[in-house]
């Protein structure tokens, strides 16, 4: 009986050792990442046309909650915007979109304009098919902001990287254009 138990323990131990070895091998074949040189680097422009009650046909974003009336300061604290924005290669709003930016942002600071964003760049053209998801804080008063690209599908399968935002143009509450400098550090 005791002999059998120790035999079982031995089998169990060697099994764990095997798993440990295996996981070590898996780790060692992981790609090394060169943070100085992105594996893909490109520029895109995002256009946001806010719904303003008389542009139903052209609006690409809508405020779904706006608690400004509650008196939470002057920086839109609590405002929540959902969007399906066109993304182009150049700065022209009328250029053929290469992707859509689909997601949301909300204002989350009472002392300055500051948003938190979560959206996916959806590519569906003959050149590119796939998605890239961006989730991060967007301190929009800074001249440039780095946001994390946390994953992707299709042509951007399992990608990770950084997108640097620059606000190119703001036209009152109706329109803004963002320059997105995309650097991917993991490509498969």
Ligand X SMILES: *[C@@H]1O[C@H](CO)[C@@H](O)[C@H](O)[C@H]1NC(C)=O
| Contact positions vs ligand X (CB under 6 A) | 57-58, 124
Nearer to ligand X, 6 or 171 (CB): 171
Extract the tokens encoding 61: 């974003």
Nearer to ligand X, 24 or 54 (CB): 54
Q: Supply φ then ψ for residue 56, to 5 degrees.
A: -50, -40
To ligand X, the closest distance from the beta carbon of 125 in angstroms equals: 8
Nearer to ligand X, 58 or 92 (CB): 58
Nearer to ligand X, 35 or 57 (CB): 57
To ligand X, the closest distance from the beta carbon of 58 in angstroms equals: 4
- Distance, C-alpha 93 to centroid of its chain: 21
Q: How many CA atoms lie within 13 A of 17 on its CB side?
A: 6
Nearer to ligand X, 93 or 113 (CB): 93
Q: How many CA atoms lie within 13 A of 100 on its CB side?
A: 12
For residue 101, count CB atoms less than 10 angstroms from its CB and return exposed for 0-12, middle for 13-18, buried for 19 or more.
buried
Residue listed under structure tokens 């150049």: 90
To ligand X, the closest distance from the beta carbon of 171 in angstroms equals: 11
d(CA 83, CA 69) in angstroms, rounded, equals 22
To ligand X, the closest distance from the beta carbon of 120 in angstroms equals: 11
To ligand X, the closest distance from the beta carbon of 175 in angstroms equals: 9
For residue 148, count CB atoms less than 10 angstroms from its CB and return exposed for 0-12, middle for 13-18, buried for 19 or more.
middle
């Amino acid at each position: 009986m005791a002999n059998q138990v120790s035999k079982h323990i031995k089998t169990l131990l060697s099994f764990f050792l095997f798993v440990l070895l295996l996981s070590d091998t898996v780790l060692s074949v992981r790609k090394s990442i060169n943070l100085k040189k992105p594996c893909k680097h490109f520029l895109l422009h995002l256009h946001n046309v806010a719904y303003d009650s008389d542009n139903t046909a052209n609006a690409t974003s809508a405020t779904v909650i706006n608690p400004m009336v509650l008196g939470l300061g002057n920086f839109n604290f609590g405002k929540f915007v959902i969007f399906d924005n066109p993304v182009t290669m150049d700065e022209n709003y009328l250029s053929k979109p290469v992707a859509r930016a689909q997601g949301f942002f909300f204002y989350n600071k009472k002392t300055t304009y500051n948003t938190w964003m979560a959206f996916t760049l959806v590519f569906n053209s003959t050149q590119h098919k796939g998605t890239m998801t961006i989730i991060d804080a967007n301190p929009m008063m800074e001249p440039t902001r780095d946001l994390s690209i946390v994953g992707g599908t299709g042509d951007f399968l399992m990608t990770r990287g950084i997108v640097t935002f620059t606000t190119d143009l703001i036209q009152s509450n109706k329109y803004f254009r963002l320059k997105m400098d995309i650097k991917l550090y993991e490509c498969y």
